[in-house]
Amino acid sequence: MTSCSSSSPLRLGIAGLGTVGAGVIKLLRANADLLSARAGRPLEVVAVSARERTRDRGVDVSALRWYDNATDLVNDPDVDVVVELIGGAEGTARTLVEAALKAGKPVVTANKALLALHGSTLARLSADNNAPLLFEAAVAGGIPAIKTVREGLAADRLLRVGGILNGTCNYILTVMRETGKDFATVLKDAQDLGYAEADPSTDVDGLDAAHKLTILAGLAFGQPVAFDSVHVEGIRRIGAVDQSFARALGYRIKLLGLASMTDAGLHARVTPCLVPQQAPLAQVDGVFNAVVAEGEFVGRIMIEGRGAGAGPTASAVTADLVDIARGNTIAVWGVQTSAQPPLRACPISSGEGAFYLRLMVEDRPGVIADITAILRDCGVSLRSMLQHPAENDSTPYVPLVLVTHRTSEAAMQDAVTRIDALTVVTDSTVVIRIEAA
């Protein structure tokens, strides 16, 4: 990768002046002397692009060149580095990043969806045109997850990577546990507080965490991962009753993104999990994120911090700019090759694990016998069972929780399909994996 180091300013063109874009400009101005000393040269914003020129962003951009078309930043001879903070896997963001790399200009981005879906193509463009592509802010905000996995652990063979990768889901699950409120109520409160978007689907359905896991897995295993092969589940079906049962069993519920490399291949999934209450991951609450990695020599590590917001994300973006100013750049996936096809994860049915099952069943004799017979026929062994009494005599169904020993995912899926077909079971079974974490 080309070094951009010199005594002259590193001139930046920023596309996207939302919360993060404005935050980057504020940080660059507030810490100008510190950053100049650390980077070995000044970092100077010379041009910007956004949709609304007159919008008050809390930062003065009147002295900067303005482009209505973001891709014009690439053609500006005074722009040394393009900073893409528009977001989205397609459209202007993708066009801009690809154009900048083809022109040989370094790119810094916080765009997790773009990297997750098009990382293979972007890595090839970066290598072929000797144009660095840095994206520390794409995963876990201010936590240096990218640098830790790709560089800090470069000497080790990583076996597993992932963690709590979405602050919105972690906040919702934390408040549900602490208050006993249901999902819908806590989600509405989170939206009112600004912790959840008006359309929360990307977060609560697990897609945001899956984007980040796809990137982390690519870095950990030195090859881009096919996003559409990652198994993704969200938290919409987690109820207050599940939080109550989890507490009784000694667990906390977390949405985890985990990827591991085995002899059978890559296993990558985003799913709600039961984590032992005393495990380090179980202690990560609220809007905080945590990234874990496990290597043959280093063992297991965990780093924790704020995973979103203007300050943490702007800090990560600016750290990448410092690296470019210093000439410290590295291949996108940490491996010096430009032609790596995306690695596909194994089907979720090929995995193994222990499981929590919560059913709503008719409160009458013989029901448990019918269910345990199905588990027996599918080769699933039970470890424990819990049942809460009906809230009142008019309630025809009661919650029943089954905890299994370790079994195959395929056997578990078969058993759940058969159980859900029973007339004594209402609604589909809630299945949560149990992780040692």
Closest CA to 73 of 45, 52, 53: 45
Residue indicated by tokens 């424990």: 384
Determine the distance from the C-alpha atom of residue 380 to the mean position of all C-alpha atoms in its chain, rounded to a whole number. 31
Rounded Cα distance between 88 and 91, Å, is: 7
Radius of gyration of the chain (CA): 24
Cβ atoms 344, 267 nearer than 8 A: no
In DSSP terms, which residues pair with 400 in a beta bridge?
A: 359, 387
Looking up tokens 């802010």 gives 137
| 183 membership: H or E segment, kind and range | helix 183-193
Instruction: Enumerate the known binding-site residues for L-homoserine.
Output: 197
The answer for 328, left when phi > 0, alpha when psi is -120 to 50, beta otherwise, is beta
Nearest to 134 by CA among 192, 73, 174, 85: 85
Sort 335 into a burial class: Cβ within 10 Å, 0-12 / 13-18 / 19+: middle
Which of 88, 27, 95, 3 is closest to 319 using CA atoms? Answer: 27
**Which residue from 270, 272, 251, 268 is spatially nearest to 260, judged by alpha carbons?**
268
How far is the C-alpha of 11 from the C-alpha of 101, rounded, in Å?
Answer: 16
Q: Which residues pair with 10 in a beta bridge?
A: 43
212 is catalytic: yes
| Residues tagged in the binding site annotation for NADP(+) | 15-22
Residue 204 token pair: 């609560």
User: What residues form the annotated binding site for NADPH?
Assistant: 112
| Residue 2 token pair | 């080309």
For residue 68, how far is the Cα from the chain centroid?
Answer: 31
Residue 352 neighbours by CB distance under 10 Å: 12
Encoding tokens for residue 105?
């200009």
Residues making up the annotated binding site are: 15-22, 112, 197
Residues 6 or more apart in contact with residue 413 via CB below 8 angstroms = 349
Q: Which of 105, 147, 212, 254 is catalytic?
A: 212
Listed in sequence order, the residues at least 6 apart from 366 whose beta carbon sits closer than 8 Å to its beta carbon are none
Instruction: List, by residue number, the catalytic residues.
Output: 212
